[in-house]
Amino acid sequence: MTHRKRLEAIFRAGLDRVDPLRMILDRVRLEKNRLLIDMEDENYTIDLSPFDQILILGGGKASARMALAFEKILGDRLDRGLVVVKYGHGEELSKMQVIEAGHPMPDENGVLGARQILKLAEEAQERTLVLTLISGGGSALLPLPLEYGSKQRPKALSLKDKQKTTSALLACGATIQEINCVRKHLSGLKGGRFLSHLAPARSLNFILSDVVGDDLSSIASGITTADPTTFAEARAVLDKYGIANSIPPQVLEVLENGKKGIIPETLKADDPDLNLTRNILIGTNRNAVKVAGEKAKSLGYNTILLTSRITGEASEVAKLLAGIARDVAVDGLLVQPPACIISGGEPVVTLRGSGKGGRCQELALAFLLAMAGDEEILERVSFLCASTDGSDGPTDAAGGFADLELLKEAKARKVDPAVFLANNDSYHFLDSLGGLLRTGPTRTNVCDLQIILVEERGQRSEVNPASGRPDI
């Protein structure tokens, strides 16, 4: 098994752990008229007898696969439903409609899906139980533009307003929490507003986290949670990154009117609608990191789980990880080779060039560049950064590798990685040298994994799981 195959095997082990179908089928079951939910830290029993119908609504890259699990569990007890997913992330469902829409840039299909979900939510009655299925990507996939103004002079944001705002936020290097703070205050569903439309129906919300730290109010912009952020904070995000001049005037008008109290705030913690709902976190990046670590150990590596909270600029994170790789390779600091160091999280990229790529590919390219002056060490080090949803940025790749073979091939072709990194063009650099990992849509989403392998001195080939040492 080559080092890249080992890296991929470790990544895929983590990926399998957060497969929504497997997770839900393992932890949720129907016994007569009771829905039993067995989570790692808490168990729930839901009596279904008070409900005349069960409705499923949802949005996010993993929501169709989550819905498939509940179709299998509930069978005839399920009445109908609708989920909105990214293009290519759908499933064949028998009782529910699937709408595919744009991500990360919202599109008209997303607006259509959000409006249909709003309609179904408003039709739900007191004897309706709504299962809400939420995963990463829900913010872009449920873009219901906020309606504001008076009955006499109604106003509404447009999809183009939201697209331009999203584009500016994605390009400036804002964190997902900051991006979602703005999105919540421009939406008719986010920031808990969905619950206001759903009342008096009760809801049980299954959430797959793509947010570092698993803040429920940030995942899919918190459609089923109270929102601690305000219009003033959303406006401050634009000022922090100096992008107010790139934002449509209608959006600025909404944020300013919200600051003045003219437009009602998002749902807050004292709202009685919160008494009708329960949020259940079913999968996180930590789950993927832990199982990836178990796979690395089975391959014979001394394994360290570094963190599941990687954030910051991808190129700077790469320097940190490269420094750790050097310390392990040279001094056995942190862990002795053969070693595997695994981290998770979600860095960001501030766009300065016109190239193509994603945060994982940029991190891999920056890691390669950070190690480029130490070929003797890089001979023993290999690296993979990949997104668990299978699509890193606006590309067809999950992420990218960094290793000595890639560096040698770049030198042979006289390709300078620094030039590509400066232009945010990691995709074309890695693609031209065979350094991309392509998985296709995974139908899950729990941020990214970063995996470093460090072999023993003079050994760079196979690792024997029985001995824990490389085969020669």
Q: How far apart are CA 67 and CA 95, in angstroms?
A: 10
Over residues 55-101, the pLDDT tens digits come to: 999 999 999 999 999 999 999 999 999 999 999 999 999 999 999 99
Mean of the per-residue pLDDT values for the chain? 94
Calculate mean pLDDT across residues 381-397. 96
DSSP one-letter string for 436-467: EE-----S----EEEEEEEPPTT--SEEETTT
Spatial distance between the Cα atoms of 469 and 385, rounded to a whole number of angstroms: 24
pLDDT category of residue 454 using cuts at 50, 70 and 90: very high
Has residue 462 got a pLDDT over 50? Answer: no
Considering only residues 42 and 254, tell me which one the structure prediction assigns the higher pLDDT: 254
Contacts 24+ apart (CB under 8 A), 325-334: 325/371, 325/377, 325/381, 325/383, 325/452, 325/454, 326/371, 326/374, 326/377, 328/452, 328/454, 329/377, 329/380, 329/381, 329/454, 330/377, 334/304
Q: What burial letters (b/e) apply to 268-288, b meaning 16+ CB within 10 Å?
A: eeeeebbeebebebbbbbbbb
For 390, list phi and psi in degrees, rounded to 5.
85, -5
Residue-wise pLDDT tens digits, 156-207: 999 999 999 999 998 998 988 899 899 999 999 999 999 999 999 999 999 9
Give the pLDDT score at 459. 65
Q: Is 351 helix (H, G, I), strand (E, B) or coil?
A: coil
Bridge partners, residue 452, by sequence: 341, 383
Encode pLDDT of 323-356 as tens digits: 999 999 999 999 999 999 999 999 999 999 999 9
Q: What is the DSSP string of 152-212?
A: SSEEE--HHHHHHHHHHHHHHT--HHHHHHHHHTTBSSTTTHHHHHHTTSEEEEEEE--ST
Contact 422, 416 (CB under 8 A): no
CA pseudo-torsion sign 327, 330, 336, 342: positive
| pLDDT tops 50 at residue 464 | no
C-alpha R_g of the chain: 23
User: What's the whole-number mean pLDDT along residues 461-466?
Assistant: 43
Cα 45 to Cα 66: distance, rounded to the nearest angstrom: 19
Work out whether the CA dihedral 189, 194, 197, 198 comes out positive or negative.
positive
- Assign 344 to helix, strand or coil: strand
Residue 467: pLDDT over 70: no
- What is the pTM (predicted TM-score) of this model? 0.88
pLDDT for res 460: 56
Query: Please, what is the end-to-end C-alpha distance for the chain in angstroms?
Result: 12
Distance CA 447, CA 284 (A): 8
Q: Are 407 and 457 in contact (CB under 8 A)?
A: no
Distance of CA 312 to the CA centre of its chain: 15
CA–CA dist 436, 396 (Å, integer): 9
For 448, left (φ over 0), alpha (ψ -120 to 50), or beta? beta
What domains appear along the chain, each with residue ranges and CATH number? 3-284 (3.40.50.10180), 286-471 (3.40.1480.10)
Encode pLDDT of 204-256 as tens digits. 999 999 989 899 999 999 999 999 999 999 999 999 999 999 999 999 999 99
- The pLDDT of residue 472 is 29
Q: How far is it, in rounded angstroms, from Cα 301 to Cα 335?
A: 10
